[in-house]
Amino acid sequence: MWTYAPHAPIDPAERFATKYPDTPAGKYLALLEQVDHSVGRVLDALHQAGLDDDTVVVVVSDNGGTNKEIDNNLPFYGSKVTLYEGGLRTPLIIRWPGKVEPGRVVDDVVNYLDYYPTFAAVAQVEPPPDVQGANIFDILKGEVKRQGNFYWETSNSIHHSWSILSGDGRWRLGQYFVGEVQLNDPFEHPVGDQDAAKRYPEIAKRLRQHYIQWRMKSRQVNFSYEKLSSNGRAKIQGNSLQRAPGYGGSTFAIALVPDNPDKESISVSEDGPQFIAFQRDMWRLGQQGSKLHLEINGIHLEAPAPPAGICSSVIVTSQFNPGHLRPKSKSSLVELWVNGEKTAEFTSGSFKDPIDAHINSTFIGQNEKGNGQFQGVLGRPLIVNERLVADEQDDRKIDNSISSIEGDLCVQLALSERL
């Protein structure tokens, strides 16, 4: 059940509002009592149906409060949208008669990734082996010891906020949009407002390395790869919304070696494109004559084609904001990079929204019918679920620049040809 409260607008029902002062804080407390009343109605319904002992009730919150009407995150520092303790630490209350001891307080760290394996265990269903998280009831029984860290990040490719919490809950390292990286010791200072980075530089360094490793792994999009030819033509599928550009941030990178047109066996046609990447009704990247052509969401870019006979890197990076909640914020940015140089770009306040085209297969080196075959060699593409930026825009603390991936593309192609 989603109560959407306490949340703006802070507008409690009159029968609750009259119990409190007519102030922002009073209205907030009234809305909080209204939520409590709603949860009570659910518990009453379970009792009347005789389902108390067979039902697990979990009450959770998605993030800390705004602190606008009242400091509702006390004693923790920070608020909603921040990655401080006050923005991330929220109550989690479990009721399961006969299974969970009433009134017990547990300080172990859990997060939303633990819900799935927990409810699967309650239903006596085995979750898939790659599911992240742990059964909360195993944590309560002391049968699980956290080995990994917890990670948070919000980013628009230019501004970043991130945080990492050690698995035992002892250390939190993060950077919060502006300012320097901070290390907090929640065991010593639970409020989370004391920077201990200078006292424990090695711990800060180690956690930052863990964060960067996690970030790079998480940003790379996994997909199925079906090779169609020895020169790199392929069909890729899976992770549709992340695999295809056109929604949020996305980067597609590939190494290629165009055939030399003066080779006897090669005939380069001016009549149609040689496709580097093709996804029906979504986007396409191809070479025709001496030009590269890129089309995404009704946007068209043109740039000089890479030289023949040698390996080149081609990178398409983009950021699309669909503006579903705020139509005036709808915007698009698309850049085409060849060999580390930006060769074309486009920005606009509007673009054509694709309809269900994300699920279409992406073809490398041809279109879906096998036409427009690329004349040359293509590497396996790298897809990253964020827009990468020019070196001068790069946040050096996370390394999200074009050059962070560009230099390895031709190296990987050369290695694959030797295997």
Choose among 250, 226, 235, 263: nearest CA to 365.
Answer: 235
- Per-residue model confidence (pLDDT) at position 2: 84
Three-state secondary-structure class, residue 32: helix
pLDDT > 90: percent of the chain: 72
> Residue 266 — pLDDT band, cuts 50, 70, 90?
very low
What is the rounded distance in angstroms from the CA atom of residue 293 to the CA atom of residue 274?
10
What is the rounded distance in angstroms from the CA atom of residue 213 to the CA atom of residue 231?
31
Is pTM beyond 0.95? Reply is no
Higher pLDDT, 190 or 419: 190
Residue range 365-380: mean pLDDT, rounded? 96
- Exposure string for 341-361, b = 16+ CB within 10 A, e = fewer: eebbebeeeebeebeebbebb
- Domains in the chain and their CATH numbers? 1-106 (no CATH), 148-219 (3.30.1120), 224-418 (2.60.120.200)
What is the rounded distance in angstroms from the CA atom of residue 358 to the CA atom of residue 248?
13
- Alpha-carbon Rg of the chain, whole angstroms? 26
> Residue 353 — pLDDT band, cuts 50, 70, 90?
confident
Residue 263 clears pLDDT 60, i.e. is over it: no
> Residue 348 — pLDDT band, cuts 50, 70, 90?
confident
- DSSP-derived secondary structure letter, 240: H
Mean pLDDT rounded to a whole number for the chain: 91
Residue range 60-77: mean pLDDT, rounded? 92
What is the rounded distance in angstroms from the CA atom of residue 211 to the CA atom of residue 205?
10
> Which of the residue ranges 85-94, 140-149, 296-305 would you say has the lowest mean pLDDT?
140-149
